[in-house]
Structure 1
């Protein structure tokens, strides 16, 4: 399973990191997840996965339940109590950093990524920024994950109130979100680190004749590297001068490269704050 990532500057040192929408994979992943408790128990009891794999299965099951509950709130009539809860949820979700959304989009099944970046940028600089965001994510989201877990018992005490336990479900969502971002950071860091070992730099390609005597396994690895750097002249043209990319240009980039517009615009909002 491979994915296409887009990396480009929006304003100054503020760069955008986003994954292209892959509808086929998202639909297949959702179809494989258990939909009922009975289905979940059957998969756990019949699977040969280790304990960690079963825990991930339970987490995905809980995430699907939360997504269905959120979809139910979207159908609530305006002015109703459920509609107000949805408005509160949207306000909280708007505070989630775009880098976290990007790292959450990197699944553990990923075997390679194709990084598209403006042709005016240096490939080594783009790869270095990818390594930086992945390495930082492994540290930041691990700390936030453990912090959210410790808050779950505290917020569960609000269940005695005759109202929906919004704090508990929000902390539960943040726990899941940080866990996904942590796993995505680890996977991205693994792919980027492997690429630096498996891919030859342009300086070495002309003077290293010994590479022609590699084994079949190494040749196969070079044909299917974990990271492919692809400079795009079209992306460079859409960005313009790149000093301060406008909202209209960002929307055009989203249409051409099939990106989630809301995720990209979050990076622009981040540069203004």
Structure 2
């Protein structure tokens, strides 16, 4: 079983933060050590045994490519200072700052997730929290499907630049964006499914402090109002939560500060 631990709270005006991490209670098979030969054998086996081989093989191929991209990115990160690879890594970091925080959030909801645990300020209504999560999930299925197909259409054009004697940065960026939108799309669909599977009348339970558990472990949807998060948010001003308050929240709930700060000025 895999649980997504989410933290939801208003960060500035009508802008809400959606962030979290994945709790792995069971390890899943990885394609990190796959070779092309292994990939082909698995695809061939899926064609014979899987009732829906197209989707299974598409997921397998995307995982294989993403692992290769991650290895290449690590190689750029470790490159000597001032080298071409090091400069490409710096360019990649600047491009990554343009990725919307909601996309990063939706990508964190993998297909293996079986339930979600949502922590939110105790002053908020549980139904409002659920509606906001449904909204971001539903919108994600629309937005990222559109951008996924758009990125796919650009792959043949950018691949033509490989004839130039320089690294084909546009192709690899478009390839990354294609993968990223695919993962965000699948995360949106999974989150929407989990929300829809949850009974409307589910009781979120009593307010808690960080680290406590509810008794609704079998439910795909567990809402946990947090007094600790509420007290941290009350320290914010009229112009939204300051960087200091955001840092304290991230430290208390194990969130990424840079990802959370992006929500202050994000429109989606």
What TM-score results when the alignment is normalised by the length of structure 2?
A: 0.86
**Cα deviation 1:12-31 (Å, max 9, x = unaligned):** 10100011254x569x4474
Give the drift of 1:35.
Answer: 3.0
Q: Is the 8 A contact 1:20 1:257 kept in 2?
A: no
Match of 2:42 in 1: 43
Separation in structure 1 between the aligned mates of residue 80 and residue 32 of structure 2, nearest angstrom: 30
Say how many residue pairs are matched.
248
Separation in structure 2 between the aligned mates of residue 257 and residue 30 of structure 1, nearest angstrom: 28
- 2:117 match: secondary structure: strand
Q: Does 1:11 align with 2:12?
A: yes
Q: Is the 8 A contact 1:21 1:260 kept in 2?
A: no
Match of 2:251 in 1: 255
**Cα deviation 1:57-77 (Å, max 9, x = unaligned):** 010000000001000001111
Match of 2:208 in 1: none
Give the drift of 1:111.
Answer: 1.3
Q: How does 1:1-273 map to 2 (within 5 A)?
A: 1-20=2-21, 22=23, 24=24, 28-29=27-28, 31=30, 33-47=32-46, 48-49=49-50, 50-195=53-198, 198-200=199-201, 224-242=218-236, 243=238, 244-270=240-266
Which 5+ residue runs of structure 1 have no aligned equivalent? 203-221
Question: Of the two structures, which has the highest relative contact order with CA contacts closer than 8 Å and spacing of 6 or more?
Answer: 1
Match of 2:213 in 1: none
Which 5+ residue runs of structure 2 have no aligned equivalent? 204-215
Give the drift of 1:223.
Answer: 6.3
Give the drift of 1:200.
Answer: 2.0
Q: Is the 8 A contact 1:34 1:61 kept in 2?
A: no
- 1:114 match: secondary structure: strand
- 1:70 match: secondary structure: helix
Separation in structure 2 between the aligned mates of residue 87 and residue 8 of structure 1, nearest angstrom: 32
How well do the aligned residues superpose, as a CA RMSD in angstroms? 2.0
Separation in structure 2 between the aligned mates of residue 201 and residue 107 of structure 1, nearest angstrom: 24
What TM-score results when the alignment is normalised by the length of structure 1?
A: 0.85
**Cα deviation 1:125-148 (Å, max 9, x = unaligned):** 110100110111011101101111
